[in-house]
Every structure is written in structure tokens, then in C-alpha cells.
Chains A and B, each alone.
Chain A
Amino acid sequence: MSRVKRIAKELEDVKKDALSGVTLTLVEEDDLSHLKGTFIGPPGTPYEGGLFEVDIQIPDAYPFKPPLMKFDTKIYHPNISSQTGAICLDILKDAWTPILTLKSSLISLQSLLQSPEPTDPQDAQVAKVYMSDPKKFAETAASWTKIYAPNDNYQPSKTNYDEFVQQSKVQDQDECAKYGIERATVQIFEDMGFPKDKIIGALRKLNLKKIRVDDVQTQQSVLDEILH
């Protein structure tokens, strides 16, 4: 009962709000469990102006369980499968809480396009290109947008993605800053030949931000964690 009421209200809210550029429509008039949502690609990215359609299945336990979303529009993005449109986003999985809505989920997807997470990729192939050759990545993503997500109502302001390209390089350093871990500490283990994501994972698990170079005991416990 609460489910029907809630979905109806969400549909109404989206209809009222023209500013966000998000739309929601029922696939069949009398079936509240299958919807299609659309949103506009965020400016300053290769997805700018594209009209992206998302397939939304609503489970019976909604809003206590997240909606099942996947892209109908083909898209070139590290966290979205270029084949199936499957999405890798935490709020659509374990980080879901019942106060999130379909609209807020679509807006989260929009910001996912803005800031990809190549360390946790859905499409490894795409993520590899994003990391190694950001410029080529941006070009491919832009041409896919043009082909698969055409939008007549929107004229892109410029075709310069420098900022977006820059971001992928900065992101690498951000990783340490994001969790407040000292760069030099990570370096100790990187010198031993361990991959960065594993080191950060281990440090976070042990709740360590900083280790002195001569603190061999703590270092050993981090090593155990990495190897574990």
C-alpha cells in the first residue's frame, strides 16, 4: 500500500519540477513497477547535453529495497557496462536507504557521469582507457553521446573537456586525501611493490592514517592485511 502511494507521489513530484531536467514515465499505464527515467548529460563533460534513458524496475519491497536501474542508452563510462548498461553505484546497492527517491537516484547517476570512479569499474576495458589515455576516452565518450543520446533541444556550449580530462589525473592523488591518509605512508608500501588500491584498502580497514618509517611492527600488520 505504502509502495503505491509513494511511487505515485514521486511521479507527481518529478512532473512538478521542470528545473532538474529529470523525467519519469510509466511504461504501462496500470503497472507501477516498471518505469523509464531520463536525464540530461552534465555540462563540462563528454556527455554534455545527451539525453540518457534509464530502465527502472521497482521491487515489491520498495522503498526498503533499491530500484533496479540500467541504462537503455548506450554509454561509454567506466562504471557503466558498454554492453548491457548495468550500473555500478553504491546507492543502488548496499548504500540505499528508504529516504532516497527515484529522482535522487537519477541525479546521482548524473553526477556519476561527472565524476567516474575508475578504481571500482563495471567496464574494465573502458576504465583502462580512462586511466591511460583520458583524451581518447573523452573523444570516444563524446562521439557515443552524439550517436546514441542525441538531443535536439540542447546545443553544447563548447567542446572542450580539458577540465574533465584533468580530473582523471588529479583523482589519483585524491584517493589518499579522500581518506585522510598520508601520502608518504602509502609510498612505503608502494615501494615494496603493492598496488595502491590494496594499500589504501588495508590502511582503511586498520583505521590507520599515518605510520612512521621506523614503526616496523605496525607496518607488519598492514602487510599481513594486504596479503590476507
Chain B
Amino acid sequence: MSDYEFEYETEDEYSNLESEADSLDDLDSEDEIGDVLRADSVHYSFKNKQTAGGLCTHRMRYKPVEADEIEAQLKARVANVDTILQLGADDCTVLLLKYGWNDQKLLEDYTTQEPESLRRECGLGPESRVRARLVRESEPQFLCQICCSDGPLYTFQLSWCDHRYCVDCYVRYIRGGQSALVKCPDTSCALYVRPGELEQLSTFEEQRVRQQEEHENQLRKQSVSGPLTSEEIMAKYQKPLVDSSDEELDEDQESDESAEDALFNFHERHIKQQRLEKQNQRNKILLRRYWYTVVVQYTKKHFKTFKNCPAIDCECFIEYLGFDSDVITSVEEYVAHKYIPIVQCSNGHRFCYACLSEDHAPATCTVVQTWIKTCADETETSHWITANTKDCPKCSSPIEKNGGCNHMTCGECHYQFCWICLGDWSRHKNNYVCTSFNDEESKKEREKQETSRVSLKRYLFYFDLFEIHRVSLKKDTEFLAKLEHRVQEIQQRAKVSWIEAHFYRESIDILLRCRITLMWSYALMFYFKSSAEKGFLERTQSNLSNHVEALSKLFEITPTEKVIKEKEAFLTKSNALKSCHEKCIEKFMESLVLGRISFTSELK
């Protein structure tokens, strides 16, 4: 099954690329970029160079890359430096790591300074060579300084020092290191562990683990081949039952998790599994772990060009390649122009390159930050308090009137007052009618209440809409994640190829994406001053909302045969939604970038 899935994945990406390239060609046939796109898998933050209204989108160019690709790049740079210095890849790697990959500075220093002292400073030995047989069996009187175990043990040491420790301790020591550059454990020794030396340790360790596994397997086989006792038979036949229930439990948990942590797309679970396997593989082999650490350190240092995907545990990177524009040269400028640099990693997670939060178009980064803060902030609670309560005139504790007459008695201090004019109740004694209503003071009080009530209502209105979409997005993700196997079911039952059932997945993805857009558009609306433009955007928004609901309805169809029959409807609806979504984003962007809309004072 995994093979099959994998094939699907790659094909999927390929077809996406194709369609994107094709549509580009359609739009602008003289554009060469279509070819570049195919050749180098360069992606763009915006699909179109210009919106329908003619606004230039100043697309950001980027490339989703994986750790392996960066690793290859870095190794190429090591080789490059090596052609000049002729020291071998091992020394060059350490030197480059020491110089933070600044090869210019390294070459300059190497030519101007005395090579020997430079080598010493960078923790390199007198020679570049890596000695053979660094892992070897020790003499019986050997004592490992770290674990105090006696020989004979397998020991490891670096090429140019004689600090020998047992393999177990050395491996554990290296695994505990945070950085890729690890020194010899001896405090007086300045040598770094070089990749070539690590390779010997890594290979030895790998072999030993494999032998151990084989040994265990053999033991297991032997125990199985013997005659079974009645207890063992019991255990054997009970096991499948237990196992399957366990699995079910696990599945439930997983689907809960995936629904919880991911507004992200539908293949999450499958990707998660692949990733875990990859991680295990990498951690098992010391040398691979070494290079991964190098890559992570490198991308952290060059955080302007590389961004790690913010999705939980996603290890993809995005490489920034500049702008397709004469006007905009940096991400900061791009954001200042109110564009949103949304990028998509190889695992399909869409996020904002500038603020590293999930796809939040059409809301700008500032809006998102302010909105999240507003939602979390207690100021909104206090808004509610001012709108719905009055303070006791005597002890100032806030009081909510939940019914009854205007004769109030404070629960705290038992002061009696009139809810309407806040005056002492004794003045109202015999008639339950407030006579001080027209006082200047009570007028002021009412005005104050009025303004705060309007602002609160506005906020709550948009907050409700935002919440509604957030919740239905979550529900959809949950619901659709459970339907993952249905795609397979559709394929099997109807005996169609993956390409025939592909529409189902595609529809789900576009539906989720549009929900995210809708959700953020409401947050954005809250900060818009009312104007004709806002009305126009509201219509676009509700149009999108209608399309979303139309497609969403189709997912209520459950019998598999019917789903296949409705394929036509799925395709029409999701295509309509797709183009409506694009137009909606474009329109919002035009209004924002061209400054056709002004913000309320709530957005600082």
C-alpha cells in the first residue's frame, strides 16, 4: 500500500506542477518563466503575474527543498573549497563549519595567516589524512575513562590524538552533542571529530546493531519452532483480538490528533508515518545524523533565505529565491506593501513566509497578529463588562442586572440604588418611577454605555463569523480525515484507477483552503471602515461562502456508487469554487495594495 501511496504522491505533485505551468502559459504565452518552472521547480507566492484588474502581483520566487538537497548543496560547497585548499573533504567541512560557511573569509585567512596555527585554532590535527582502523579491539588492561569498564573493549579515537574511549561511550557522547562540531572528550585536546572519522564509528555501530537484530530474530525463530504449551496457544489465539482493538484505539487517537493539530491538508497522517520512519533511519546512523545537524545549523544561520515549515514536526524547508519584480526586493518590503508571501512546502503545508503562521490570506500579517491578540486579550471581556454591567455607586463592584425591577441592592455592600440613574434609592421611595432620568450625569453615563456597546457588537459579529468558519474548518478536517479510506474504497469498489478517484481528494483540499480564506477574511473585515469598497468585498465574500457550502453539501453523499456518479458535479463545483477563490483573493489584494480601503483605529 505504501508503494502505491508514494506513487500517487509524486504523480500528484507532478500533475499539479503541470497544470500550474500550463495555466501560466495560457495567461502569458511569451513568458519564459513557464519553462523555468518546469525545469527547476521554482514556485511563486502568486499564481498570476497580474490580477484580472491589472494589478502587478510582484510574485515571490521560492523553492521547496528537503534536508537532503541542502545537504548535497553544502557538500558541493565543501568540494569547491577543497579544490582550492587541497586538504580533503574532512578538513574542509570542519573549517567551513568553523567559519559559518563563509568561504571567502576562510580562503582569505588561509592565504594570509600561517596555515598551521589556523589549523590548530580550528581544531584540526597536523595532517589531513584520516587514519584507518580507528575502531579496534583494545588490550585487556585497557580501562575506559568514561564508563570505567575494563578491557578488552572496542575503542574509538581520533586520527591525531591518543584519547581512546570505548565505542559505546563515544557514540553516546557524540549523540549528546547539540552542535555538529564535537570535540574530543578530553579537556586538554582541541581536535574536532571529522566526518571521515565519524564514518568509521558509524559503520561499526551500524554493523553491530544489525548483528544484534539478527541475533534476536534468530532467538525468536528458535523459540517459535518449539512445541507450544497450552498457555502459549491461548496467548497466540487471543492476541489478534487484543491487537486489533489496540489498533482501533490507536487509529482513533491519531485521527483526533490530526484533526486537532492540523488545519493542514488531508495526507497528513500518511506523511507523518513516512517522516517518523525517516527520522528513525537518520538517528540510527551517526553520520547521517551529523549531516542533518549541519543542515539545520546552516538553515538557522541563513534564516533569511531558508525557512523551516512551521507545521508540527514537518522537516521541509523553503528556499527564498528573490522577487519577480523591479519594485520589491525583500520580504519586508513585500509585507509593507500589504502582500502576503504564502508558500507551500513539499508536504503541501501552506504558510506565510514572513510571519511563519499558517496560510492567512487575505488578512495581512499585521491584521493576523492584532486579531489573535484581540481575541486573547482581556480588553474584550472588559468591553462586555462595560456594556452589560454598572458599577455599584458605593463600593464599585460591577453588577449585571439579570431581571427584576430597577431597585438594586448591591450584593457586596447592600447599598440600595436605582439602576436607571444610579442615584440613592431613598429618593425613589414611593414611586417605582425614576425621576432623575434627565439629569446631566445620567445622560453622560448612557452615552458612554452606548459607544462601547456598538464597538462590542461589531467585534462579536465578526468574531462569531470567524469562529463559525474556524469550527467548521476543524469539523471538516476531522470528518474528511476519517473519510480517507473512502478514497480507496471508491477506487476499489468502482474499480477505477487513482486518477478517476482523484477528484475526491482534490475537492477536499480546495474546500479546506477556501474555509481558511473565508475565516481570515472575516477577521480582516473587522478592521475595515465601512465604505462602498467594503460592501463590494462583502459581496465577493458571500459569493465564496455560497460556493463553499455548495461543495460542502456534496460530501454528504455517502454511498460509494453514488459518489462516482456524482463525479461530474464534484468537478464542476470544485472548479467553480477554485476560480471564485482566486478571484476573491485577487479582489481583496487589489483593495489592500491600492489602498482603496481604510482601516479602523483598532488596527495599530
Contacts and interface: CB of A to CB of B under 8 A. Distances in A.
A179 to B, nearest CB: 12
B362 interface: no
Contacts of B172: 64
A9 B150 CA distance: 12
A61 B185 contact: no
Nearest to A3: B147
A193 interface: no
A187 interface: no
Contacts of A177: none
| Best-surrounded residue of A61, A63, A65, A100 (most CB of chain B within 10 A) | A63
**Size class of the B contact interface (CB-based, 8 Å):** 10 to 19
Interface in B166-218: 168-169, 172-173, 176, 183, 185-187
Nearest to A61: B176
| Best-surrounded residue of A2, A61, A97, A98 (most CB of chain B within 10 A) | A98
A102 B176 CA distance: 20
A99 interface: yes
B145 interface: yes
Nearest to B109: A207
Given A97-B185, A97-B187, A99-B185, A65 B176 contact: yes
B148 A9 contact: yes
Contact of A100 (B165, B168, B183, B187): B187
Interface residue SS majority, chain B: loop
A97 B185 CA distance: 6
Interface residues of A, number: 12
A63 B148 CA distance: 11
A136 interface: no
Contacts of A9: 148
Contacts of A5: 147-149
Interface string A94-136: 0001111000000000000000000000000000000000000
Contacts of A97: 173, 183, 185-187
Contact of B147 (A2, A61, A65): A2
B482 to A, nearest CB: 41
B186 A6 contact: no
B409 to A, nearest CB: 52
Contacts of B146: 2, 6, 63, 98-99
Contacts of A64: 172-173, 176
B297 to A, nearest CB: 16
Interface string B139-172: 0000001111100000000000001010011001
A170 B51 CA distance: 70
Contacts of B163: 99
B173 A98 contact: yes
Contacts of B176: 61, 64-65
A27 B176 CA distance: 29
A64 B176 CA distance: 7
Contacts of A99: 145-146, 163, 165, 185-187
A47 B26 CA distance: 84
B591 to A, nearest CB: 38
A54 B214 CA distance: 48
Contacts of A98: 146, 169, 173, 185
Interface string A1-36: 010011001000000000000000000000000000
A65 B146 CA distance: 12
A61 to B, nearest CB: 7
Nearest to B178: A94
Contacts of B149: 2, 5
A9 B187 CA distance: 20
Interface in A26-51: none
Interface in A60-102: 61, 63-65, 97-100
A65 B163 CA distance: 19
A5 B149 CA distance: 8
A6 B185 CA distance: 16
A2 B173 contact: no
Contacts of A63: 146-147
Contacts of A6: 146-148
Contacts of B187: 97, 99-100
A139 B42 CA distance: 70
Nearest to A91: B187
A218 B584 CA distance: 51
B162 to A, nearest CB: 13
Nearest to B184: A97
A64 B146 CA distance: 9
Nearest to A94: B178
Contacts of B186: 97, 99
B384 to A, nearest CB: 44
Contacts of A100: 187
Contacts of A2: 146-149, 168-169
Contacts of B148: 2, 5-6, 9
A97 B145 CA distance: 11
B96 to A, nearest CB: 15
A63 B147 CA distance: 8
A133 B169 CA distance: 47
A124 B313 CA distance: 41
Given A2-B146, A2-B147, A5-B148, 14 more contacts: A2-B168, A2-B169, A6-B146, A6-B148, A9-B148, A64-B173, A64-B176, A97-B183, A97-B186, A97-B187, A98-B146, A98-B173, A99-B145, A100-B187
10 contacts: A2-B149, A2-B168, A61-B176, A64-B173, A64-B176, A97-B185, A98-B146, A98-B169, A99-B165, A99-B185
Would you list the 8 A-B pairs with minimal beta carbon distance, nearest first?
Answer: A2-B147, A98-B146, A9-B148, A6-B148, A97-B185, A5-B148, A64-B176, A99-B185
